[in-house]
Chain A
Amino acid sequence: MKVKPYSQNAYTPVPSAFTKFRRNCVIWQFFRFIVINIKMTVLILKSHH
């Protein structure tokens, strides 16, 4: 996809090829799955009163 100069898309950061790779890399994402679950669990524990 070519970015048109002065269009909306021209002013936003977009992921590099490496970032895209990491987002879909099963091994890396397995670790992220654990991290996300930990972060959400901490949040839930903090929220119950």
Chain B
Amino acid sequence: MARIVILGGGVSGHTAATFLAKWLGRDHEVVVVTPNAKWNWIPSNIWVGVGGMSKQEVIFDLAPVYKKAGIDYRQAKAISIHPEGGVDVEKQFVTIEYTGQGKEGNSEKLSYDYLINATGPKLNFGATEGLGPDAGYTVSVCTADHAVHANEKLDELIAQMKSGEEKKILIGTGHGMCTCQGAAFEYTFNVDHKLREEGVRDKATLTYISNEYELGDFGVGGMHIKLGGYVTSGKVFAESLYAERNVKWIKRAHVNRVEKGKVHYETLDGSQHEEEYDFSMLIPPFAGVGLKAYDKAGEDITSKVFNPGGFMFVDADYSKGTKPFEEWDAADWPSYLQNPTYKNMYAVGIAFAPPHLISKPMKSPNGTPINPTPPRTGMPSAMMGKAVAGSLRDMILNGAIEPTHTANMSEMGAACVASAGKGFFSGSAVAMTMYPVIPNYKKYEYGRDLNGTFGEIGLAGHWVKHFLHFAFLWKAKLKPFWTIIPE
């Protein structure tokens, strides 16, 4: 009997766990260690943040779902990995600390045969002084609770606008090394939509601030699409929407300090600026969740297993990270998501260490990096979870020696639907696909296959987004036919 321990029950970990439980049956053990009692469909937090959905609509209890699937659920957070075992322990194990199930604060050693690290991001608000809803002045939509709080603050602002006050709204990225611009983009246009619905759009100055070199970069180096008889950069497409909705934009910006009512930022040319706000939602940079690793003797080997940002090394070509952008290659990206030192360890979703950025690295004359870091959005994250689950199934049941399934971001596409306002008849969203996620400038003139890369805005995009909300919650709850809903 093999035991597979999955750290993190988010998009990628939940996908891996549920497929493994289905494929392996009760003859093997699938254990999920995750600190939260609820599963959250994170993309719909945007709608919670503008009052378009309640928190209850975007979360559900994990325990009954895991019980039904035969998954051993530990409401706990992983603290450290011991891939060689310990002084008095033969088998490899992780240490976990319970956050629920009546065992709060208790620690435990959990042995494993295979480990999947799917711990996602640490929301690193601490990287920028004054950032975030807990110790700072800005709101966030990264968790369902953050989004509820953001909506409360937005409602207060709208009430003030209704009494005639003019307000400044600033939405975007809260650091020069952020990813997840898509979420900031969506929130900007959902706030715009909400203000129009409330009849107060004329009372607001709406500004978007981003670390992108150009709008539409999204951390993937932007994209080109065929549009109106031209091959057009996504920058044109993105700017058009900002202009249409009367949203001012600030690009190439590293927010270095937030105070009440004012954001301080540096731009790529090295100059320093300030922007005032009455309401601000800034996305934090992401880091790894801070897992430690120890060898058999108890020596700290964290730097052997994780990169300095806390993301786990896998089968990527990390030597390319020190090379210039022009020398980067699609082949640098990992296929099996397998740790090169400890082959029974895998990392999927945001938890794996990318070999380098996707967008071109940029620094201001002051040495401040101002460039988006690589996104690992929902679809690629889930596909990685499923691919690793497929490899482990083949190893455990069919005796495969090496992993059998790949999920290489340079060979997979991503479909993304960015909401620009909710409403069955009044809503809109940008529906996008790109293939591949990692541009391949050797193979394609514009880095990507123009037949697999497209984008359009409209009501249909909103219908797709809303349909996906129900479909993915259905799938995550393992309701009938869940396996036919693709990742």
A residues sitting closer than 8 Å to B (CB atoms) are 1, 3, 8-9, 11-15, 22-26, 29-30, 32-33, 35-37, 39-44, 46-49
What 0/1 pattern do residues 408 to 430 of B give for CB contact below 8 A with A? 10011111000000000110100
Q: Which of A9, A15, A36 contacts B246 (CB 8 A)?
A: A9
Contact B239 A43 (CB under 8 A): no
User: Distance (Å) between the CB of B86 and the closest chain A CB?
Assistant: 37
Q: Are A47 and B460 in contact (CB under 8 A)?
A: no
Cβ of B153 under 8 Å from chain A = no
Are B433 and A23 neighbours in the complex by a CB distance under 8 Å? Answer: no
Additional A-B contact list (16), CB under 8 Å, known A11-B239, A33-B460, A49-B387: A3-B243, A8-B248, A14-B244, A15-B244, A24-B428, A24-B458, A26-B425, A29-B458, A29-B459, A36-B456, A36-B461, A40-B433, A46-B412, A48-B383, A49-B405, A49-B408
Contacting B433 at CB < 8 Å: which of A1, A13, A22, A43? A43
| Residues of B bordering A, CB below 8 Å | 236, 239-240, 242-244, 246, 248-249, 379, 383, 387, 405-408, 411-415, 425-426, 428, 431, 433, 435, 452, 454, 456-461, 463-464, 486-487
The smallest C-beta distance from A32 to any residue of chain B, in angstroms, reads: 4
Chief secondary structure at chain B's binding surface: mixed
**Which one of B236, B244, B464 lies within 8 Å of A36 (CB-CB)?**
B464
Q: Is the CB of A32 within 8 A of B246?
A: no
A13/B240 contact (C-beta < 8 A), A23-B428, A23-B459, A49-B411 known: yes
Chain B contacts for A30, CB-based, 8 A: 460
Pair B236/A13 contact, Cβ less than 8 Å: yes
Residues of chain B with a CB closer than 8 A to A26's CB: 425, 459
What residues of B have a CB within 8 angstroms of the CB of A35 in the complex? Answer: 460
| The residue from B239, B406, B486 contacting A44, defined by CB atoms under 8 A apart | B486
- Of all A-B residue pairs in the complex, the 10 with the closest CB atoms, nearest first, are A47-B412, A32-B460, A33-B460, A23-B458, A9-B243, A29-B460, A43-B413, A29-B459, A12-B243, A12-B239
How close is A18's CB to chain B, nearest CB, in angstroms? 13
Residues of B within 8 A of A23 (CB): 428, 457-459
| Chain A hits for B431, CB < 8 A | 36, 40
Write the nearest CB–CB distance from B223 to chain A, whole angstroms: 13
Query: Would you call B412 and A32 a contact (CB within 8 A)?
Result: no
Most buried by B among A1, A40, A47: A47
- State the CA gap A44–B411 with chains docked (Å): 11
Q: Which residues on A sit within 8 Å (CB–CB) of B246?
A: 1, 9
Cβ-defined partner of A33 (8 Å) among B248, B387, B415, B463 = B463
Residues of B within 8 A of A40 (CB): 415, 431, 433, 464
Known contacts A14-B244, A29-B463, A37-B464; A47/B383 CB under 8 A: yes
Is B433 touching A39 in the complex (CB atoms < 8 A)? Answer: yes
- Per the bound structure, the CA–CA distance linking A12 and B461 in Å amounts to 22
Complex Cα spacing A12 to B463, Å: 27
A32 to B486, CA, bound (A): 20
Distance in Å: Cβ of A5 to nearest Cβ of chain B = 13
What are 15 sample pairs from A and B whose C-beta atoms fall under 8 A apart? A3-B243, A9-B246, A11-B239, A12-B239, A14-B240, A23-B459, A24-B459, A32-B456, A32-B458, A36-B464, A43-B414, A43-B452, A46-B413, A46-B452, A49-B408
Q: Find out whether the CB atom of B236 lies under 8 angstroms from the CB atom of A12.
A: yes
Q: How far is the CB of B236 from chain A (nearest CB, A)?
A: 6
> Chain B residues near A42 (CB, 8 Å)?
452
Would you give the shortest CB distance from A3 to chain B, in whole angstroms? 8
